[in-house]
A and B are shown apart, each in its own frame.
Chain A
Amino acid sequence: MNSKIKKLIPQLLTLAFVALIFGFFSYNAQLNMENRGITFGYGFLSQESSFDVQFSLIEYDGSHTYFRAYLVGLLNTILVSVIGIIIATILGVLIGIARLSPNFLINNFAAFYVEFFRNIPLLLQIFFWYFAALRALPLPENAEAIFGVSYLTIKGFYVPAFIWENFDIFFYSIVAAIISIIVIRIYAKKLRDTEGKQLPVFYISIGLLIILPLISFLFGGVNLSFQIPQLKQLALTSFIYEGGVSIPPELIALTLALSLYTATFIAECVRAGIQGVSKGQKEAAASIGLTPNQVLKLVIMPQALRIIIPPTTNQYLNLTKNSSLAAAIAYPDLVLVFAGTALMQTGRAIEIVSITMLTYLSLSVSISIFMNWYNKKIAIKEK
């Protein structure tokens, strides 16, 4: 009985302490809000927002609600994060592998890249790309065409727009291709386990991925045409490109800075992963007669991935959180649109900041849960 009380007391103390702090804060908040005449409530989300946003993936203008403005910001954040993650991963893997090359030049070049971009603050890199590099781009009327159809100017990167007919059929063909690839892989694994035969799964997958959409093009009535940006004059000295898709320079600067910065960390993770597989594994695999390709695919990579994936997922999370730095340049992500403009127009600081933090929290927590599940699944059981 005595030990039970001894265990309970510190916990109750901590709980009381935390409750006291929370109570203190909420009491003061309530008092302050009463004094200032501010009301607390989430009803403002259904009010009209009356401000426009420069770049939005969904249909939005000032006559939509604040909630829709929140969605716009969220989608922009996700857009930047996804593009950044893809570029950072590709770049990071390349540089990580380059760091392991015996070639003196390549090795040091990659090392220089990592040391250079890792030691400069991300905010500084974003500022550099946006205020220094992209401001030096030419005006639309002076821009030269890249491949004859796209233009890189100070007002944005204008590329041709895709115009689809019967896009859904194309989409279904891609889905069908993916499903059939998964089926083939399961079948190939079963075949290998029971009969020891290897199917060239990789080539089959590529083939499926190309053939099925091709069929949709030829027989499904899917059509793809391009709309090329055309120069249009707005005034004597001001031009833009009409038609096509315009990618704002804010997005370009942010994605560039985020990818280059995060790629350094991913490169280090990849390098640590591959180096972390003991040399004995490679030698043992070679001694039982596996080809170098097979060694890499069947022995090294699975073990290396175990070491690579958790920190890399962490880096993806960091990239998503770092995308909030868009508030420093004029890219309309969640923080700038919702916790910036909307907050200033409505004055509801507590509600808006709480929603913003909750959004980022749920993103982080879901990735944490995934990582914990993955770690448990592949963990080496210690006795």
Chain B
Amino acid sequence: MINKYINPTKENLNTYLTIGLIFISYSIIDVFLNSFFKINITSFLPSLLSFLLPLIFGFIGLYLIRIEYSGVKKLDIINKNINTNNFNAILTLFIIFVIIKSLPPLLSWFIIDANFAGDTKEACTGTGACWTYIKIWFRRFMYGMYPNAEQWRINLSFISLAALGSVGFFATDKFKKYLTLYYVVIYPVIAFLFIFFFISGGRVFFDFSYGIIAAVISVIIGFFIPKFKLYYFLIVPLTFYILLKHVFFSDELIELGMMEGLNWVETGAWGGLSLTFIISFFCLIFCFPIGMALALGRRSDFPIIKYICIGFIEFWRGVPLITVLFMSSVMFPMFLPEDFFIDKLVRAVIAISLFEAAYVAEVIRGGLQALPRGQYDAAKSLGMGYWKMHIFVILPQALKLVIPGIANTFLALVKDTPLIFVVGLLEIVGMLNLAKTNPQWLGFAMEGYVFAALIFWIICYAMSKYSYNLEQKYKTER
């Protein structure tokens, strides 16, 4: 009915367009002045009306310029986009309104009224954020309670590990076939040794490390032996284990060979963002192979193995991570012999790895299921055995399919690391909580949380973008 009187069409385009634009610009200027400069140009009206006036005028303006097929390209784009009908117009106005209204307080809190300089609480005099607090506590947030003088060790380890990890990008073709071996076996062991000896700075504290080193060496040797026989898997590791334990690393030799001058920093003192990275890294390394094994086991033809895997996966997927960590810190020590003491951090890493492995298993299983039966049939018809078929045909395709799923799981892993506070370790969120109750710095909880949120957001967003690119790169047409 209104259309009879006010009918914006192509004919009277210019008039309606001008009037509409006037209304719209008025409404935007009104809101802008109101929020940025606190000038109310319609203060002569009652407060509710002057508050809603820009919305009403904007709505009228948008209605007036809603001309279909006007012929002006920019106008058409705007109309099709944000002005298709009344409902859309109102939503658009609302969103613009919210954005403009919330910008000044945010800006003033973050930058204009904030304090950047100074050393103590007194330097934070403004009403805005106290970034001095973050500046002072920055080292603690990054490194936890790790002694200041030793933090170069963490930096050095991370840089070297990052450098070693990016070797894959520069490998020439000759070495490409060793890349899998490198990444799955050698690189984790090197990382482990770095963390052990360099960041911790101490002696080997449990026997399994000998076993691990022995197993790794035997796997490496196994790759170079022409006919890889199963029983090599027994003799070689056992020999190396005995050698390592009783000959190379016997106690007297440890005294001589240990790096002198590196102070022992116990794992309780590690913390901050560096701990987040360490935990994420190790959990990723462990949960991936275990998850793959579980996924394959779940789809196996052997009923016992299948049901054990199903039980395992459903168990770990059914309980919250906080109870798992709780169990690892409270119950796990009771299940071990009295003097067999496993460090807090190791227990937490094991717990999180098993937990995430169940999720990775489900993701990989989805990929395995999505492959058509034809692939299995074709591989079997070529005479491939179970393992050959999986390693060379099935898994490469399945893993390509589930890259987003695995990236999601890894993202979830990084976001789950703050739960470590249950075990007593303090990564960045834990350090925040510690800092906000420090008597000299009370009342700055907001700045701390915003800072941590920013850091996590950058890391997670970068990772999700990277996985998206990875998915695009490996997308094969099927």
Chain A in direct contact with chain B (Cβ < 8 angstroms): yes
Contact indicator A364/B95 (Cβ below 8 Å): no
Q: Are A360 and B82 in touch, CB under 8 angstroms? A: no
B81 at the interface (CB under 8 A from A): yes
The interface bits of chain A over 343-375 (1 if a CB of B lies within 8 angstroms of the residue's CB, else 0) are 100000110010011001101110010000000
Contact, CB under 8 Å: A32 / B338: yes
Q: Is A115 an interface residue (CB 8 A)?
A: yes
Known contacts A32-B334, A127-B449; A14/B92 CB under 8 A: no
Partner of A325, one of B322, B330, B417: B322
Let me know if B331 and A349 touch, CB within 8 A. Answer: yes
Cα A29 to Cα B331 in complex, Å, equals 9
Most A Cβ at <10 Å: residue of B303, B319, B452:
B319
**Known contacts A7-B302, A103-B91, A350-B331; A328 and B82 CB within 8 A of each other:** no
Within the complex, the shortest CB–CB distance from A111 to chain B, in Å, comes to 12
Q: Is the CB of B95 within 8 A of A120?
A: no
Residues of A94-136 whose CB lies within 8 A of B? 101-106, 109, 115-116, 118-124, 127-128, 131-132, 135
Chain B residue at smallest Cβ distance from A343: B330
B373 closest partner in A (C-beta): A382
Does any Cβ of B come within 8 Å of A253's Cβ?
no
- On chain A, the residues within 8 Å of B171 by CB distance are none
Residue on A nearest B335 in the bound complex, by CB: A25
B257 contacts across to A, CB distance below 8 A: none
Given contacts A119-B457, A119-B464, A349-B331, contact A132 B449 (CB under 8 A): yes
* Contact between chains at B305 and A135 (CB < 8 Å): no
A259 to B: closest C-beta gap in Å: 17
- In the complex, whether A33 has a CB less than 8 A from a CB of chain B is yes
Q: Are A33 and B334 in contact (CB under 8 A)?
A: yes
- For chain A residues 1-47, which have a beta carbon within 8 Å of chain B? 7, 10-12, 14-15, 18, 25-26, 28-29, 31-33, 35
Q: Are B446 and A132 in contact (CB under 8 A)?
A: yes
Question: B334 near A106 (CB under 8 angstroms)?
Answer: no
Q: B91 to A115, Cβ gap below 8 A?
A: no
Chain A residues near B432 (CB, 8 Å)? 127
Contact yes or no, A115 B302, CB < 8 A: no
Smallest CB–CB gap between B80 and chain A, Å? Answer: 7
**B303 CB to nearest A CB, Å:** 7
Q: Are B336 and A103 in contact (CB under 8 A)?
A: no
- B142-183 interface (Cβ within 8 A of A): none
- Say whether B327 contacts A322, CB under 8 Å: no
- Distance A120 CA – B414 CA, assembled complex (angstroms): 10
B449, A128: Cβ atoms under 8 Å? Answer: yes
Of B188-196, B211-219, B310-318, the one touching chain A: B310-318
Of listed A14, A104, A120, A325, residue having the most chain B CB within 10 A: A120
**Would you give the shortest CB distance from B124 to chain A, in whole angstroms?**
16
**Taking A11-B302, A11-B304, A109-B95 as contacts, is the C-beta distance between A123 and B314 under 8 angstroms?**
no
Tell me if B259 counts as interface (CB < 8 A to partner A).
no
Q: Is A306 an interface residue when CB atoms closer than 8 A count as contact?
A: no
* B91 closest partner in A (C-beta): A106
- Tell me if A85 is interfacial: C-beta within 8 Å of chain B: no
- Top 8 nearest A-B pairs (CB, nearest first) are A364-B318, A119-B460, A321-B320, A11-B304, A324-B320, A121-B415, A25-B335, A361-B318
- 17 additional A-B residue pairs with CB within 8 Å, beyond A119-B461, A132-B445: A14-B302, A29-B335, A32-B338, A102-B81, A105-B92, A106-B92, A119-B460, A120-B415, A121-B416, A124-B453, A335-B320, A335-B326, A339-B323, A339-B326, A349-B334, A356-B323, A365-B318
Contacts from A to B (Cβ < 8 Å): 7, 10-12, 14-15, 18, 25-26, 28-29, 31-33, 35, 101-106, 109, 115-116, 118-124, 127-128, 131-132, 135, 321-322, 324-325, 327-328, 335, 339, 343, 349-350, 353, 356-357, 360-361, 363-365, 368
